[in-house]
Amino acid sequence: MNNSECLTEHKSTMNNVESITDRKRSMIFINIVITCIASSMLATALTTALPSMISDMNISVTTGQWLTSGYALAMGIMMPLTAFLITRFPTRNLYLSGLTIFILGLILCAIAPNFHFMMFGRILQASGNGILTSMAQVIILSIYPAEKRGTAMGWYGLSIGAAPVVAPTLAGIIVDVISWRAIFYITIVIISASLIWALFVFDNVLDTVKKKFDIISFIISIFAFGGITLGVGNIGNYKFISIQVLPILIIGSIATILFAYRQLHSKQPFLELRVLKNKNYTISVIASMLFYFVMMGSSMLMPLYVQTILGYSATISGLVILPGSMLMAIISPFAGKLYDKAGMKILFISGAACLLLSNIGMIFISMNTPLWVSSILNVLRNLSIGCLLMPLVTWGTSNVKKEFTADSTALLTSLRTIAGAIGTAVFVAIMNTVTKNSIKTYGSNAPMHGINIAFLFMSIATVILLLVAIFTFSGTENNKYKNIEK
C-alpha cells in the first residue's frame, strides 16, 4: 500500500520553514525548552522527595513507588496516542491543552490529602507531559530547516541534561527548608508562565489530517505498550513466573502483535508502522533501543555501586555522577552542530565507542578502586549520551517523509523507552543472580562481582551497537537529511 493513501483530507498549515520568521521560531523554541526543563526537573526532583512523600502520606515504599512507576506507565500508554493527536488537531490548541492538563495534575498533587488523590494527579501529569514531550521533538524537527535541525535538537538535549545536574540538590533544599509540596507549587508557576507565553507565540506549525479515531487500535495499544512496560517494571519486585510479571508480559506481547497487524493492514493507521520500511530510520530505532537498553542499566547500577557496595552517601554518589551529567548537558549542542556539519557517522561511531570503553572499564573495577576512576568512566558514558541521544532521533526521523514525523518520533520514543525498562530489569537481575550464586566463592566481594558481570553483558550489547554503527556507514554515504522530503 502506498503511504499517500493514509493522507486523505490533508490540511496544510504554515509548517514550511520559509513561512516562519526567525523571531517566531526562536520564541516557540524557547517556550518548548522552558517547559521541558520544568517537567524534567520535576521528574528528577520527585526521586529525591519520594521518601518524605511516603512518610507524610503514611504509605509503604512499594505503594509510594507507584508515584514514579505509574507515571512511567501512563507515559508509555500516551506515546502512541500522541502521534494521532499531533496529526489530527491544530498545533496551538493541542500544545495549550497539554500544558493545561499538566498544570491540573500539578495542582492536584500540590493539595493532595492522600495517595489516591496524588496518584490521579500524577496520571494527569503523565498525560499532559506525554503530549508536550512528543510535540516538542516534532515541532523542532518541523520548524527548523534540515541543515539546522541537529543544532536545535542539541540545545533541546541540553534542557533534558540540565535536569539531573540541578534537580536533586535543589529538591533536597526545598524539601528540607519548606516541604515536598513546594516542588509542585514552583513547577505550577513555571508551567503557568509557559502557558501564558504560549498563548501569544504559538501558531499551527504542523500539518493536520482529518482521520477517524481508531478506538480499537487505541485499546490494543494500551495492553501492548502498557502491558510490556508494567510487566518489565515488575521484574525487579516479583519473580518472573509470578502473576505480576509473566502473564502481563504475555498479554503485552500478544497485544503488540495484534497492534502491528492492524496498523499494517489499515488505510488510516492509528500509528504508522510502515515508516520502518525506511532502512536508515529502522537502524536509528534499533540503535536507540540498544543504546537505551545499556544506558538505563548502567544508570541504575552506578549509584548501587557507589552507595550499596562502597557504602558512600547519596551526596557522594551525586558528586561522582555530577561531572558526567554536566558534560552531557554541555556536549549536546556541540553534538547537534557537528551533526549538521558532518552527519551521523562520526557521532554514531564515537558515541558507541565511548560507551563501550566505559562499560569495559566497569568490568575491572573493585572495592579498592579509587572513586575518581568510576567518575571518569561515568564521564565517558555521558559523553556517549551527548553524542547519541538526540542525534539518533534527528537522523532517524529526517529519513522519513515529513508528514510521518509525528508517527516516527512516537514509535522511536516508545520502543526505546521499553528497551530502557528491559535493560534496567535485565542487568539488575544479572547482578542479583551472580551475587547470589557467587557468595561461596567471593564472600563479601560477591556484590562487586555481580556488578562486574552485569557490565560485561552491557559491553557485549554495546559491541553490537558499535558494529551497527560501523556497518551502517561502511561506505561513503553519510545520510544527514537528504531523504527528508522524499
Kindly report, residue by residue over 426-442, the tens digit of the pLDDT.
Answer: 888 888 889 988 888 88
Between 69 and 151, whose confidence is greater?
A: 151
pLDDT of residue 5: 39
pLDDT of residue 351: 93
Report the distance separating Cα 385 and Cα 397, nearest Å: 18
Q: What do you get for the CA distance between the two ends of the chain, in Å?
A: 16
Between 145 and 258, whose confidence is greater?
A: 258
Mean pLDDT of 376-388: 91
pLDDT class for 88, splitting at 50, 70, 90? confident
Between 308 and 184, whose confidence is greater?
A: 184
Question: Is the Cβ–Cβ distance between 408 and 284 less than 8 Å?
Answer: no
Beta-carbon contacts of 223 under 8 Å, excluding residues fewer than 6 positions away, are 251, 252, 255
Mean pLDDT of 89-109: 91
pLDDT of residue 299: 81
Report the distance separating Cα 332 and Cα 207, nearest Å: 28
Beta-carbon contacts of 278 under 8 Å, excluding residues fewer than 6 positions away, are 399, 400, 483
pLDDT class for 1, splitting at 50, 70, 90? very low
Instruction: Check whether 362 has a pLDDT greater than 90.
Output: yes
**How is residue 190 written as a grid cell?**
513555571
HSE-up of 346 (CA within 13 Å, CB side)?
Answer: 10
Taking only the tens place, the pLDDT of each residue in 387-420 is 998 889 889 888 888 778 888 888 888 888 888 8
Instruction: Check whether 485 has a pLDDT greater than 50.
Output: no
pLDDT of residue 53: 81
pLDDT of residue 364: 94
Q: What percent of the chain has pLDDT over 70?
A: 90
Between 298 and 43, whose confidence is greater?
A: 298
Mean pLDDT of 329-350: 88
Cut 0.85: pTM above it: no
pLDDT of residue 15: 45
Report the distance separating Cα 324 and Cα 381, nearest Å: 7
pLDDT of residue 164: 63
pLDDT of residue 262: 92
Alpha carbon separation from 227 to 81, 222, 253, 288, 456 (Å, rounded): 15, 7, 8, 21, 29
Mean pLDDT of 453-467: 95
Between 188 and 166, whose confidence is greater?
A: 188
Question: Is the Cβ–Cβ distance between 96 and 69 less than 8 Å?
Answer: no
Report the distance separating Cα 286 and Cα 437, nearest Å: 33
Dihedral of the alpha carbons of 353, 354, 358, 364, in degrees to the nearest 10:
50
Phi-psi region of 479 (alpha: psi -120 to 50; beta: other; left: phi over 0): left
Mean pLDDT of 443-448: 88
Instruction: Check whether 172 has a pLDDT greater than 90.
Output: no
Instruction: Check whether 345 has a pLDDT greater than 80.
Output: yes
Report the distance separating Cα 87 and Cα 150, nearest Å: 23
pLDDT of residue 453: 94
pLDDT of residue 464: 96
Mean pLDDT of 174-181: 82
Mean pLDDT of 267-295: 90
Mean pLDDT of 235-243: 78
pLDDT class for 2, splitting at 50, 70, 90? very low
Alpha carbon separation from 245 to 235, 239, 450 (Å, rounded): 6, 7, 23
Question: Is the Cβ–Cβ distance between 1 and 267 less than 8 Å?
Answer: yes
pLDDT of residue 465: 95
